[in-house]
Amino acid sequence: MAFPLIPAAADVVAAGWLSHLPTVVYNVLLVLIGVNLLIIVHEFGHFIVARMCGVKCEKFYIWFDVYGWRFFRFRWGDTEYGLGVLPLGGYVKMLGQEDNPGAIRAEIERAKAVAADTNNKPETHAETNHESQQSELQQPVTQNNNLSVEELEKALYAKDSYLSKRVPQRMAIIVAGVVMNVIFAFICATGAYRFGVEEISPIIGNTAAGSNAWEAGLLPGDTVLAIDNHRIQKFSDITQAIVRSSSEKSTFRIQRLGTDLPFDVEVAPKMGKKALVASFGVKVSNSLKLADKPFYSYLKKTVEKNAEMQKLKGKETLLKVNGQEVSSYSDLEQILVKSPRDSATFTFQKEKSDETVDVTLPPLPWNTLGLLFQTGEITMVLEQGKAFGFEVGDRLLTLNGAPIDPLMLTQQVLEKSLVGGGEMKIAVERKGTQKELTVNIPAEQWDYHLEWNAAAQICSDILGISLTVLPEIVGGNEDIPAGSTLEKIIFLEQENQGLPEILLQSKLGKKVKGGYEIVNNDSLPNIIPNFIMFLEGVLLQGLPTETKIRLTLKSGEKTIETVVPIVTDSRRISTDYGFDFTPILFLDKADNFNQAVQKGWHATVDNTLLVYYTLKQLLRNFNGTAHVSPKGLGGPVMIVQAAYSFASSGMGKYLLFLCMFSANLAVLNILPIPVLDGGHFVFLLYEAVFRKPPNETVQVILSYLGLILLLALMLWVCLLDLGIIKRF
């Protein structure tokens, strides 16, 4: 997942940055404290158990004292405590403990060289040389430079040295950091549920056209109770179920409106070509409550000029449409679609009040490029589609003798159903031959997919088919030869107005001289691989109609450029009045401390296991069965971005993020990779079994291999963070 570094940045600029500065500073401090605490508690775990085992801890620092730079330091007992200048957690330095097993022998050899050098110096300078040698080595083992190598090695195994401790004690010291991370995760999760965490309900708002969830028959309003016998409490649990799953299909336990008993449905997660995580194809359900800003952000100027819109201040709840009560977002759509081109009166209840307000608005116009696109093949056929005679691989040609506009197909079928149904003649191309099907459209049927899938898929619930739409133009503009394929789109700057803000915020391309360019499918996220579908379905709806667009097309061997305007298509059904409704939310808050502890424990276990399942999914990329892509990993930039995003969402959300991140650190640190705690633990296991440490040369080689692996991983995630390696 990608997060903006400061998601409220545009609002800060627009509304006056000074008024938002305290909030931004507060969130930045939360991020700084939280991310540092994750590392500090890990090091404190090593420190406290080492002290309990009698190991001398020479230094314990919060932040790093690079090149000796620090804010302050003090000595308490035999440990130096301090605050460094580099805010990246902290560290503990134990006597005799080295992450690099070869460093101990190197230190002994260095001590020997210094001792030999001392013997060659005049006695008159002995005291001065001794002081300089002490400064150079900074190790207790070198205090007497006349010791032999054997004696120096013996000094490293002093009674307060890490190396002198029994294997179980050293094991305890090594795993203490991981244990502290788990404890910290548990504390954070418990605190989160005392504060309360706002979550999205696991109610399905819709299914993506042509998705496996659509094929399985899931409907808007269905509540997901469990997946593969794991309880689903919030919508994000559905994604976690994908990560946990290693089978081809998952079993959904569904509670449907109007039914008494839940039932099971099998749905297969689908991994898109460039997806970061596989998807079942279910979407979040909208509530009837408006967001803080009741209209889409791109309608800001329209709202400023519209008195009706200004009646709404935000957070109102919709009660009625044209006097008819609504109980769900799906109800709202079904009411509006029956009078799609007429103004409607909406009755809202104000927040924390019994007062209502009526707002009468026309539907938003439907913007389009005025182009007719090529219909692709049918990819899925439901049972009713099979009854009508459709087959996978068919390509629709005409509807009642007229060329099919794929972006109008669902609407035309729905309108036929709403006026009583009847026969429709649909010609299809099947294996090179043309075939005409007579389809008897039932009356008063509802279609949940008036809007097409941004992944170049449309579907008709009534026809029971899903099909693709190709970026090939077959009509609509006489300047464009039929069969031309779109290759480039440039939104042209408007004279004296520049580029629309919504375009710049879309991050779907790049700013070029004279406009904004969207180059090709690969420049966009996987959810919108067919950019023309996204432009027609979403982006065009927020642009001024005076916006001009330059299209670059390929027609045979020729490259064609033409400028087209945005036009309003009065044929299109629009159920969109610009309202920005929130998802269906609930506050997950413990009633008492005991319940918070239980919830915190379950969250800690779930997050810890989720890291394991994620690693397992990453390994499955080698056999092509993974549900998670390695391009979904994030480095320091994404971590800070995510931390700021969660900090901006409230203390409960932020504490849950720290729980998740701390669990991540715990699992990753215990992996059996040399230079990590888990690698050291494996070496100690070897020593416990064979009564001797592993061969030093083998340890050094394995440690360097582990270091190379970690550096390669860090390079990978940093290149992803910086955009040098494209995630999509």
Q: How confident is the model at residue 408 (pLDDT cuts 50, 70, 90)?
A: confident
pLDDT band at 496 (very low <50, low <70, confident <90, very high): low
Q: Per-residue confidence at 229, pLDDT binned at 50, 70, 90?
A: very high
Widest Cα–Cα separation across the chain: 113
Domain formed by 285-361, architecture: Roll (2.30)
Residue 216 is predicted with a pLDDT of 92
Alpha-carbon span 634 to 15, nearest angstrom: 31
Q: How far apart are CA 474 and CA 477, in angstroms?
A: 9
Domain boundaries, the chain: 1-28+166-196+590-728, 102-157, 285-361, 367-571
Q: Cα separation of 271 and 268, whole Å? A: 10
- Residue 362: the pLDDT is 87
Do 676 and 177 form a contact (C-beta atoms < 8 A)?
no
Q: Is 490 helix (H, G, I), strand (E, B) or coil?
A: strand
- Return d(Cα 702, Cα 682) in angstroms, integer: 12
- In terms of DSSP bridges, do strands 223-227 and 250-255 run parallel, antiparallel, or are they unpaired? antiparallel
Question: Can you give the pLDDT at residue 335?
Answer: 85
State CA 286 to chain mean position distance: 20
In the prediction, which pLDDT does 99 show?
62
The C-alpha atoms of residue 176 and residue 338 are separated, in whole angstroms, by 65
What mean pLDDT is predicted for residues 337-353?
A: 86
CB hemisphere CA count around 497 (13 angstroms):
13
CB distance 71 to 51 below 8 Å: no
Residue 522 pLDDT level (bands cut at 50, 70, 90): very low
Residue 384: which H helix or E strand, with range?
helix 383-388
The continuous run of DSSP H or E covering 337 comes out as helix 329-337
Q: Give the per-residue pLDDT at 126.
A: 39
- Nearest residue to 419 via CA among 454, 443, 446, 451: 443
Which of 270-279, 515-524, 566-575, 585-594 has the weakest average pLDDT?
515-524
Torsion of CA 464, 449, 523, 2, to 10 degrees: -120
pLDDT at residue 447 greater than cutoff 70: yes
Going by their DSSP bridges, the two strands 367-368 and 567-568 should be labelled as: antiparallel
- Summarize the confidence of residues 342-353 as an average pLDDT: 91
In the predicted model, is pLDDT for residue 570 greater than 50? yes
Helix (H, G, I), strand (E, B) or coil at 709: helix
Residues 266, 280 contacting (CB under 8 angstroms): no
Q: Residue 470 has what pLDDT? A: 82
CA-CA distances (angstroms) from residue 85 to 74, 75, 80?
Answer: 15, 18, 16
What is the pLDDT confidence band of residue 345, given thresholds at 50, 70 and 90?
Answer: very high
Does pLDDT of 121 surpass 60? no
Residue 19, pLDDT above cutoff 80:
no
Q: For CA atoms 545, 574, 318, 285, give the dihedral sign.
A: negative
The pTM assigned to this predicted structure is 0.81
Who's near 107: CB < 8 A, 6+ residues apart?
A: 98, 137, 139, 141, 156
- pLDDT over 90 at 124, yes or no: no
Instruction: Read off the pLDDT of each residue in 111-140 and give the average, rounded to a whole number.
Output: 44
> Taking the domain 367-571, which CATH number applies?
2.30.42.10
pLDDT tens per residue across span 187-224: 999 999 999 999 999 999 988 888 899 999 999 899 99
Backbone φ, ψ for residue 558 (5° rounding): -95, 145
Matching residue, tokens 């609930």: 586
Instruction: Say how far apart CA 539 and CA 543 lie, in whole Å.
Output: 7
Write out the two tokens for 689.
């079994």
The tokens describing 306, both together, are: 């519209």
98-107, 271-280, 613-622, 637-646: which has the minimum mean pLDDT? 98-107
Q: Residue 51 is which amino acid? A: R
CB atoms within 10 A of CB 597: 16
367-571 has the same fold as 285-361: yes
* pLDDT for 526 beyond 60: no
**Which residue type does 100 have?**
N
Backbone angles phi, psi at 458, to 5 degrees: -125, 155
What mean pLDDT is predicted for residues 6-27?
55
Mean pLDDT of 446-464: 74
Q: What is the DSSP string of 260-317?
A: SS-EEEEE--B--TT-SB-B--EEEPEEEEEEEEEE-GGGHHHHHH-TTGGG--S--E
Q: Which two tokens stand for residue 310?
A: 């200004």
The burial class, CB within 10 Å (0-12 / 13-18 / 19+), for 15 is exposed
In one letter, which amino acid is 340? Answer: P
Nearest Cα neighbor of 57 from 84, 76, 36 is 76
- pLDDT reported for residue 155: 57
Residue 425: pLDDT over 90? yes
pLDDT, position 606: 93
Taking CB atoms within 8 Å and a gap of at least 24, the contacts of 639-646 are: 639/35, 640/5, 640/31, 640/35, 641/2, 641/3, 641/4, 641/5, 642/1, 642/3, 643/30, 643/31, 643/34, 643/35, 644/3, 644/5, 644/6, 644/7, 644/27, 644/28, 644/31, 645/3, 645/4, 645/7
